[in-house]
Structure 1
Amino acid sequence: MAKILNVHNLDKTYSSGSKKLTVLQDISLSIEESETFAIVGPSGSGKTTLLGLCAGLDRPNSGSIELCGTEIERLTEDERAVLRNKNVGFVFQDFQLLPTLTALENVAVPLELQGSKNASKISRELLEKVGLGDRFHHYPSQLSGGEQQRVAVARAFSNEPSILFADEPTGNLDAETGEKVIDLLFNLNKESGTTLVIVTHDLELAQKTQRILRLKGGRIIENPISAS
């Protein structure tokens, strides 16, 4: 299996006045195409920071990240945005839907950025898949938390990403709704063959993935080798 993500000796430090806070230290990992992978650890262990670096949303202080065959730390902001829009999907804890757009319009955004002529058709099909065929024209404020997250899941798959990053995707949902959203995420993921990387503090959710990387204090304390 080809590697879709390779991370080598990653460090991330933030400066606050004269103080330096090391959030990640000497992180190395690799993830294969179509693999499901969880990053777990206590609050403050660097999980979300690592996810952001892997997705090219932030830059490391040192180390290298190769995403979809491209060394992303060499790219400009614009080049990284193009790479993300072409290859990456996101699901966030707080949904991050655009409040002035309907469910249909939110799902269509990544497609329209790519210049797709079928944005509306694909978005309708995806919303139907996630059980929101009767919510096309509802705005986020008219949807429940679970419905908003299902819109976010549909949007994440709309550009047929090679890799999908989910940051605490059930963090703002009750247990029953969270379970439904996770089932949906894994089912769509299996259907599309996307690589799925989940940051979570929920060990039950993490155990649904093929591999679990554990962080503590910005360092890896467990990183099982891939099956291949």
Structure 2
Amino acid sequence: MPKILNVEHLRKTYTSGSKQLTVLDDINFSIEAGETFAIVGPSGSGKTTLLGLCAGLDYPDTGVVELSGANLGNLNEDERARLRNEKVGFIFQNFQLLPTLTALENVVVPLELQGAKNPAKIGRELMGKVGLGDRLQHYPSQLSGGEQQRVALARAFSNSPSILFADEPTGNLDQDTGDRVVQLLFELNQEAGTTLVIVSHDLELAQKCNRLLRLRGGKVVSNEVLIES
């Protein structure tokens, strides 16, 4: 299978006062198209920083990130944004829905910006798949946390991404609600054939993936195959 994400010798440091803090140190791994891949580690191990670098939201100090065949280091901001719009989906811990838009509009607006045909039809279908066909005109403030995350799921899959980055997707949800969101995430992902990259402190969630990368202190401590893809 072709590699959809390739990371080589990635290093990221931040300056805090007079000190240099190394958040990631010589990170190497690759992900095949269609894989489900989890990144786990204790708080402060560099998980979210790594996700941002892989998605082209930030720049490493040294190292290479190749996403969907493109070397992110060779792209300017506009080219990175275009690549994300066309190839990448995101799910965040805090949902990041636009409060002034209805649930349906939160899913449809990104499609409209991309010039998709029949965006409202696609949006309604996705909202139906996540079990919110009766909540289309509700605003985020009128939805529970689980419902908001399901809207975010529908939005994430709306552009048929090649790769989906999920940063602590159940972090703000109770156990039962989180389990339902995870079930939907994997169902939608399998149906779409998307590559899924999950950052989580939840080992039970991570172990549902094909592979598991463990970080500690900014370094890779293991890269395990859990389920043959």
Deviations 1:121-175 (A, max 9, x none): 1001000000000111111000000000000000000000000000000000000
What is aligned with 1:201?
201
Q: What does 1:18-37 align with in structure 2 at a 5 Å threshold?
A: 18-37=18-37
Letter in 2 for 1:140: P
For residues 225 and 67 of structure 2, the distance between their equivalents in structure 1, rounded to whole angstroms, comes to 19
2:60 matches 1:60: yes
Number of the residue aligned with 2:10: 10
Distance between the aligned counterparts of 1:117 and 1:47, measured in 2?
36
Within 5 Å, which residues of 2 pair with 1:142-221?
142-221=142-221
Secondary structure (helix, strand or coil) at the match of 2:154 reads helix
Q: 1:223 maps to which residue?
A: 223
* Equivalent residue letter for 1:136: L
| AA of the residue aligned to 1:62 | T
Secondary structure of 1:154 counterpart: helix
User: Is the CA contact (8 Å cut-off) linking 2:210 and 2:225 kept in structure 1?
Assistant: no
Q: Distance in 2 between matches of 1:197 and 1:50?
A: 11
Q: Provide the TM-score with structure 2 as the length reference.
A: 0.97
Which residue number in structure 2 is paired with residue 117 of structure 1? 117
Residue equivalent to 1:41: 41
- In 1, Cα distance between the equivalents of 2:114 and 2:79? 14
CA displacement at 1:110 relative to structure 2:
2.2
Gaps of 5+ in 2: none
1:113: how far off? 1.9
Q: Distance in 1 between matches of 2:203 and 2:116?
A: 38
Percent of aligned positions with the same letter in both sequences? 73
Supply the distance in 1 between the matched residues of 2:21 and 2:50 (Cα, whole angstroms).
15
Tell me how far apart the structure 2 counterparts of residues 225 and 212 of structure 1 sit (CA, whole Å). 7
Calculate the aligned-residue CA RMSD, in Å.
1.2
Letter matched to residue 77 of structure 2: E
1:167-219 Cα deviation digits (max 9, x unpaired): 00000000000000000000000000000000000010011001000000000
1:89 maps to what in 2? 89
* Whole-angstrom CA distance in 2 between matches of 1:225 and 1:168: 21
Kindly state the Cα deviation for residue 77 of structure 1 after the two structures are TM-superposed. 1.1
**Other structure's SS at 2:224 match:** coil
**Aligned-partner SS, 1:224:** strand
Q: Where does structure 1 differ by over 3 angstroms across 4 or more consecutive aligned residues?
A: 225-228
Q: Measure how far apart 1:119 and its partner are.
A: 1.1
Q: Deviations over 1:79-125 (max 9, x none)?
A: 11110010000000000001111111111132122111311110010
- The corresponding residue for 1:134 is 134
Q: Which amino acid aligns with 2:46?
A: G
Alpha carbons of 1:61 and 1:158: their partners in 2 closer, same or farther (altered >3 Å)? same
Q: Are 2:102 and 2:136, in contact at CA under 8 Å, matched by a contact in 1?
A: yes
SS at match of 1:96: coil
Please report how far the alpha carbon of residue 225 of structure 1 lies from its aligned counterpart in structure 2 after TM superposition.
Answer: 6.0
